[in-house]
Structure formats: C-alpha cells, structure tokens
C-alpha cells in the first residue's frame, strides 16, 4: 500500500518579495543596520537579507526590466516567466556589470532605455523567416494584392 497523507510534510509557501521591500532593506543595510535588526524588522531570515543585499545590482536591473516592458506583453508570475524576460535580464545585467566597472553613473532612466532597446530587439520577429519565405518556395517576394 502507498503512503498516507499524514506522513507527508507540508512545504512552506514561497512569498515574493517586492522591489520596494528590497530597496528598503538595501538602504537600511547601507546605512549600517545589522542583519539581525533587519530580520526582526521585516520577518525574514538572515540568509534572505544577505542574499538581497548581495544581489542588489541584480534587483536594480530586474526593476528596470519590469518598468520598461509593457503590461500586456508578459505576465510576471513566480511559476512561469517567458524566456524573453530571462534573456533580457541576463543581457541587461551583463551590460550593467560592464558599465559599473567603468565607474559610469547609471540612472534608472538609462537602464530603462537600454532595457527597452534590448526588448525591441528580442521581440522583433526573425527577419529571415518572413522576408525570405517567398524565395525559399520559388514564388518571389510576397506582395499585397488589391481587390
């Protein structure tokens, strides 16, 4: 016979931490607050606070991506994220790291502009598929017919 439901442990639900909360944690940590104080304030574990602080540049990039992408384009959900958003975040994070090393002042506006341009490139349909379709089947370039 199989195991009963009584023997199974219930996993705690994962809660998504908003950018505003992350920004508060980063700001307070930069001001000199200790991890233990922040844990009591926000109700998170010490490892969560440390992870948020250590990944602060990634949080800034993620915020820029969320603000630049149109609302209807993608759904921000913890269970499913379109691959385009992961690619966008990866590319933008690499760009951010390169410019951070050069000691260039980066504003949220600059990040959003860069994210918009990368998003436009990633969401643009493949040029070869539509432009060369007619040539591949020997019918010439597709044209619109007027009635």
pLDDT category, 4, cuts 50, 70, 90? low
Q: Tens digits of per-residue pLDDT, 38-63?
A: 999 999 989 989 888 888 777 777 77
Residue 119 CA, distance from chain mean position:
12
User: Pick the residue with more confidence: 27 or 85?
Assistant: 27
- pLDDT of residue 76 exceeding 50, the answer is no
Alpha helices in 55-82 (DSSP H): 56-68
Residues in the chain: 147
- CB burial of 33-42 (b: ≥16 within 10 Å; e: otherwise) equals eebeebbeee
CA angle (106, 97, 84) in 5-degree steps? 95
Q: Tens digits of per-residue pLDDT, 98-145?
A: 887 777 777 888 888 888 888 888 776 655 555 555 454 555 555 555
| Cβ pair 140, 134 in contact under 8 A | yes
Instruction: Give every CB contact of residue 73 below 8 A, 6+ residues apart in sequence.
Output: 123
Query: What pLDDT does residue 38 have?
Result: 92
């Amino acid at each position: 016979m199989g195991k009963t439901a009584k023997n199974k442990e219930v996993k705690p639900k994962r809660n998504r931490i908003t950018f505003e909360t992350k920004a508060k944690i980063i700001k307070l940590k930069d001001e000199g607050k200790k991890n233990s104080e922040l844990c009591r304030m926000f109700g998170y574990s010490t490892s969560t606070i440390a992870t948020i602080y250590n990944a602060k540049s990634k949080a800034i990039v993620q915020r820029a991506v969320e603000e630049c992408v149109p609302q209807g384009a993608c759904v921000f959900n913890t269970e499913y994220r379109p691959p385009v958003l992961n690619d966008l975040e990866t590319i933008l994070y690499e760009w951010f790291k390169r410019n951070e090393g050069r000691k260039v002042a980066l504003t949220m506006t600059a990040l959003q502009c860069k994210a918009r341009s990368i998003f436009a490139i990633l969401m643009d349909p493949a040029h070869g598929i539509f432009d060369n379709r007619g040539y591949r089947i020997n019918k010439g370039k597709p044209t619109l017919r007027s009635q």
